[in-house]
Amino acid sequence: MHNHQEQQATQFDFITLGIESSCDETGIGLYHSEFGLIGHQLFSSVKIHAEYGGVVPELASRDHIQRVLPLIKAVLVDAKFTLKDLNGIAYTAGPGLAGALLVGGAVAKSLAWSLDIPSLAVHHMEGHLLAPLLEKSQPKFPFVALLVSGGHTMLIDVKAIGQYKILGESLDDAVGEAFDKTAKILGLGYPGGPALAMLVEQGNPDAFKFPRPMVDRPGLDFSFSGLKTFARNTFAKHPNKKADIAKAFEVAATQTLMIKCRRALEQTKYATLVVAGGVSANLSLRKELNQMGKKVGTNVFYPRLEFCTDNGAMIALVGHFRLSHGQRDIHHEINIKPRWSLEELKQIE
* 55 assigned ligand-binding residue: no
pLDDT band at 51; cut points 50, 70, 90: confident
Boundaries of every domain in the chain? 15-130+310-344, 138-302
Sign of CA dihedral 192, 198, 199, 200: positive
Q: Phi and psi for 16 in degrees, rounded to 5?
A: -115, 130
Known binder of ligand: residue 110?
A: no
State which CATH number among 3.90.79.10, 3.20.20.80, 1.10.510.10, 3.30.420.40 fits the domain covering 138-302: 3.30.420.40
Contact residues for 166 (Cβ-Cβ < 8 A; gap 6+): 154, 155, 156, 341, 342, 343
Asked if residue 45 lies in contact with residue 59, where contact means CB atoms within 8 angstroms, the answer is yes
pLDDT band at 47 (very low <50, low <70, confident <90, very high): confident
Q: Please give the average per-residue pLDDT across 28-39, as a whole number.
A: 97
pLDDT in tens, 56-88: 999 999 999 999 999 999 999 999 999 999 999
Percentage, residues of the chain above pLDDT 90: 88
Mean pLDDT of 29-46: 95
180 is in an annotated binding site: yes
pLDDT at residue 4 in the model: 40
What's the alpha-carbon Rg for the chain, to the nearest Å?
A: 21
Which overall architecture, per CATH, does domain 15-130+310-344 show?
Answer: 2-Layer Sandwich (3.30)
pLDDT digits (tens, 9 = 90+) for 270-312: 999 999 999 999 999 999 999 999 999 999 999 999 999 999 9
pLDDT at res. 9? 43
pTM, full prediction: 0.94
Contact 251, 205 (CB under 8 A): yes
Judge whether 278 is annotated as a binding position.
no
Residue 52 pLDDT level (bands cut at 50, 70, 90): confident
The answer to the question of whether 193 is labelled as a binding residue is yes
Average pLDDT over residues 301-327: 97
Is 155 strand, coil or helix? strand
150 is in an annotated binding site: yes
| % of the chain surpassing 70 pLDDT | 97
Distances, alpha carbon 240 to alpha carbons 82, 184, 212, 245, 250, in Å: 57, 15, 24, 10, 18
Determine if residue 187 is labeled as part of a ligand binding site.
no
Q: Is 310 annotated as a binding residue?
A: yes
Interatomic CA distance for residues 21 and 99, integer angstroms: 9
Q: Using one digit for the tens of pLDDT, what is the confidence trace for 244-279?
A: 999 999 999 999 999 999 999 999 999 999 999 999
Which pLDDT belongs to residue 194?
85
Q: What pLDDT score was predicted for residue 12?
A: 61
Q: Express each pLDDT in 177-205 by its tens digit.
A: 999 999 999 999 888 888 898 999 999 99
87 marked ligand binding residue: no
d(CA 305, CA 312): 14
